[in-house]
Structure 1
Amino acid sequence: MTQPDAEMAPDFTLPVTGGDEVTLSALRPAPVVLFFYPRDDTSGCTVENQDFSALLAEFEAAGVKVFGISKDSLASHDKFMAKKALTVPLLSDEASQVCEDYGVWTEKKMYGKTFMGIERSTFLVDGEGRIAKAWRKVKVPGHAAEVLDAARAL
């Protein structure tokens, strides 16, 4: 594998809230933030989505597209967005192919049990489709603002 900073972001087409589809490569030359989160309507995922939603206008002003991705269905995403007044479009990866392509579908442990799940991760994809920065095992507080700073620095 090449340097993570030079690695091409795996391309994909996924359904997005609002009833359309998003193809990553079709968004070029706009930079794109992809934040992978474990599950709709859980505490950490709610805060993360709210933080990115609160900064969405600033990302847009910088010319950056932002998408949240989980394995939840579009129906679940729609309900989550309505319940929490979220504005960031959410992509549904029910087959987990994109999660696997980005290496975020991993073995996790909680309460002594081992299971497969999404490792909270964010990727900043530059206008040429390369991964400019990757955050793994994300801690939510302050994360969206840190990603915004990195996006502005592109």
Structure 2
Amino acid sequence: MPTAFARLCMVAVAPSIAVLPLSAAAASAPDVPNTVPTTAVVTVPASGRAATVIQFALAQVGKPYRWAAAGPAAYDCSGLVMAAYAQVGVKLPHQSGQIAARGWRVPSGKWMPGDVIHKPGHVAIYLGNGRVVEAANPRVGVRIAPARGGTAHRFL
């Protein structure tokens, strides 16, 4: 069963993916962490396999972070990336450094939705417009957040 955040967000994939704001009532739902913003709007151009990866990752927003977890109830950062890419048949290891060692390195300014953003010890999926979806830490779980640097790697 999807989380309250996933149930209350509208995700459209043609020709872009959009996560629309939650209502104030939805934000107070018991299974939505207080850290999920009620006014977040993410609209990104994505199609094909990148859209599938992003859709899967966005459907996990609001789930808890658990070290070494790869779903379906909880994720760590590499587990979320591994599970999202598995939706399109791309097998990735469950370790952020090993994920970064694969794929094509993408220069800054050329990042595309679906790229994996790596910083030492962490990976996230780029949504576009300076945002990522990530399994951040035990305090905030899976969330949409600003992209804060790192190196992009392309797998699609």
TM over 0.5: no
TM-score, length-scaled by structure 2: 0.27
TM-score, length-scaled by structure 1: 0.27
Q: Which has the higher contact order (CA 8 A, sep 6+)?
A: 1
- Which structure shows the higher strand fraction? 1
- Which structure shows the higher helix fraction? 1
